[in-house]
């Protein structure tokens, strides 16, 4: 078990070396954040501009219409897709570097675009699972929050390798989930420690890429 955790942190170290070799790739997480923020602003003011003016006049908030629910659902899917798209760009860039290439932000985004159709169903699955977990959390009290937290953690670990498998091996979403699950069962130590380490790596990448 200890050796597996060590291997997991070695994988994180290798990923960090890729980022250090291609510092411009640290722009990708920032682009992801800015794109998601821009979409949120457009959705918020597009859907709730009238409600905001009503609040100034002390009017009660109106219940969302069917059209607004549809737009919010599509917006949630778009946010999921944006996040996954830029994660795929990072995966492609890391694979390019590790196979002897010299990736750039442009090449990473171009490679991610080539896989845009393949990642679309995974974005939908992510939204559906997230919605189910939120419903469990909100409707079952403290028990629901605990259950949603445990289920969410299990889902995150089991699907940790879905994107690399989906993109680099050209599998379907169902096949990628199964493949990721099998890899997790075999190397769960690397996955757990890698999940923790990559969170730190991503945070540091964003901090370093920000202007002083």
Q: What is the pLDDT along the chain (212 residues), one digit of tens a residue?
A: 444 444 444 545 555 666 666 677 778 888 888 998 898 888 777 666 555 555 455 555 556 677 777 888 888 899 999 999 998 888 888 788 777 777 888 888 998 999 888 889 999 999 999 888 888 877 777 877 888 888 887 888 788 778 888 888 878 888 888 888 887 777 665 555 555 555 555 555 554 554 54
What are the helix (H) ranges across the chain?
2-21, 27-56, 66-98, 105-114, 116-139, 141-158, 162-168, 173-186, 188-209
List the one residue out of 129, 186, 136 whose CA is nearest residue 161: 186
């Amino acid at each position: 078990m200890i050796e597996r955790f060590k291997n997991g942190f070695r994988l994180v170290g290798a990923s960090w070396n890729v980022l250090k070799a291609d510092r411009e790739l640290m722009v990708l997480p920032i682009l992801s954040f800015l794109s998601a923020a821009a979409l949120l602003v457009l959705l918020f003011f597009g859907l709730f501009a009238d409600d905001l003016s009503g609040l100034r006049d002390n009017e009660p908030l109106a219940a969302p219409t069917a059209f607004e629910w549809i737009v919010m659902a599509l917006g949630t899917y778009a946010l999921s897709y944006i996040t996954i798209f830029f994660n795929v760009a990072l995966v492609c860039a890391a694979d390019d570097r590790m196979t002897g290439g010299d990736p750039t932000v442009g090449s990473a985004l171009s490679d991610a675009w080539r896989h845009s159709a393949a990642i679309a169903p995974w974005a939908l699955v992510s939204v559906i699972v997230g919605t189910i977990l939120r419903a469990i959390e909100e409707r079952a009290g403290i028990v629901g929050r605990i259950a949603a937290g445990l289920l969410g953690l299990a889902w995150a670990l089991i699907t940790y390798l879905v994107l690399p498998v989906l993109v680099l091996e050209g599998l379907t979403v169902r096949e990628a989930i199964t493949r990721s699950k099998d890899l997790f069962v075999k190397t769960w130590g690397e996955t757990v420690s890698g999940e923790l380490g990559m969170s730190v790596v991503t945070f540091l990448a964003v901090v370093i890429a920000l202007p002083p």
